[in-house]
Amino acid sequence: MSEFKWARKDLLGLRDLSKQEIELILDTAKSFQEVSDRSVKKVPALRGKTVTNLFFEPSTRTRVSFELAEKRLSADTIHIASSTSSMVKGETLKDSLRNIEALKVNIVVMRHPSSGAPHRMAPHFQASIINAGDGINEHPTQALLDMFTVREKKGKIDGMKVTFIGDILHSRVARSNIWGLTKMGAQVTVCGPKTLLPPSIEKLGVRATTDLREAVKDADVINLLRIQLERQKESYFPSIREYVTAYQINQEVLKLAKPDVVIMHPGPVNRGIEITSEVLDGPFSVILDQVTNGLAVRMAVLYLLAGTSQREEKVAE
Ligand code: CP
């Protein structure tokens, strides 16, 4: 592993991270991977530290993965969901965090429907803030686990052709991956209906196309994104049936891809829409490996941030 040292208090997105910082997280995650294969799946790295998981949007993978990562690192953990927090009584996010901070929490993992919410909070608190998904902006740990999986399956990220298909416009996963993958030397293509491709997306250094066949044929990795109907305020395509006809990955489309292509998806999957069950459960799919790798990546992020925590630790003599 490189001698480079982590210096940031927070992990808010991959837009701000350097290639060296991304490599450090991926290398640290590699060293944590074997912890989950031990009979006693625990290390003392975060003993005495407290982590609060603050989730204001539904989550299965990210929430469980962070909670398990915290437990495997021996941290004390608290989970707060929006429906059971005092925010339903009118308390602001900042006031909620001030109360959490008063309890000497070291790290806050935050998922929020507003883009930029963790970025606005981070400068006001000593606790480290990890962005677990903010609106349509970024989902850095998802992109890091995606990159970890690309490196694991393909041996490298540099030079890999990675294609994202689906609702790019509303995807924080695509956005974080674009920042990260382009810094790591991958060639990124985004594909979907024109209405779901952000205008000027090419300025981020990616190729954009509405042609599924063109997007699939050279790809080393295909990362599928679900249509985020919950974030869509208007109709972006005529019907789900037409979307399926034009953009679904099925056995026929897969015949156009490289023989060693890998199929990824951040989840949750809408079976039968962006992907058929045959492909989802088939030999090219590494979707559950992504989930497994997410645990090691989140352990790495928590471990690195705990080392730069600005909270004074007063140890009793
Ligand atoms: N990939 C992802 O963020 O999934 P969840 O919404 O289930 O956490």
Residue 113 Cβ contacting ligand 1 at under 6 Å: no
Residue 179 has a pLDDT of 98
Interatomic CA distance for residues 113 and 195, integer angstroms = 22
30 CA → ligand 1 middle, Å: 22
Query: Best of 60, 110, 145, 164 to mutate for ligand 1, by most ligand atoms within 8 A of CB?
Result: 60
What are the C-alpha distances in Å from 3 to residues 18, 21, 28, 30?
Answer: 15, 11, 12, 16
Check if the beta carbon of residue 79 is closer than 8 Å to that of residue 71: no
Residue 247 has a pLDDT of 97
Residue 316 has a pLDDT of 42
Write phi, then psi, for 132 (nearest 5 degrees).
Answer: -100, 25
Interatomic CA distance for residues 240 and 193, integer angstroms = 12
| pLDDT < 70 stretches in the chain | 1-2, 229, 231-234, 310-317
112 CA → ligand 1 middle, Å: 12
Tokens of 43: 């290390």
Residue 232 has a pLDDT of 64
The packing angle between helices 172-183 and 140-154, to 10°, is 50
Residue 71 Cβ contacting ligand 1 at under 6 Å: no
Interatomic CA distance for residues 19 and 232, integer angstroms = 33
Residue 308 has a pLDDT of 80
267 CA → ligand 1 middle, Å: 6
In tens, the pLDDT along 165-220 reads 999 999 999 999 999 999 999 999 999 999 999 999 999 999 999 999 999 999 99
Q: Please name the helix (run of DSSP H) or strand (run of DSSP E) that holds residue 81, with its range, or none.
A: strand 76-81
Residue 59 Cβ contacting ligand 1 at under 6 Å: yes
218 CA → ligand 1 middle, Å: 28
Domains and CATH numbers, the chain: 19-138+291-316 (3.40.50.1370), 140-285 (3.40.50.1370)
**pTM attached to this predicted model:** 0.94
102 CA → ligand 1 middle, Å: 29
Interatomic CA distance for residues 48 and 223, integer angstroms = 38
Residue 269 Cβ contacting ligand 1 at under 6 Å: no
248 CA → ligand 1 middle, Å: 21
Residue 177 Cβ contacting ligand 1 at under 6 Å: no
Nearest Cα residue to atom 5 of ligand 1: 59
Query: Best of 55, 142, 148 to mutate for ligand 1, by most ligand atoms within 8 A of CB?
Result: 142
Query: Best of 54, 55, 62, 136 to mutate for ligand 1, by most ligand atoms within 8 A of CB?
Result: 62
From the CA of 60, give the closest atom in ligand 1: 7
60 CA → ligand 1 middle, Å: 6
Residue 131 Cβ contacting ligand 1 at under 6 Å: no
Q: What is the mean pLDDT of the chain?
A: 94
H helices of the chain, where?
A: 19-32, 61-72, 93-102, 117-121, 140-154, 172-183, 212-217, 240-247, 251-254, 277-280, 287-306
Check if the beta carbon of residue 296 is closer than 8 Å to that of residue 25: no
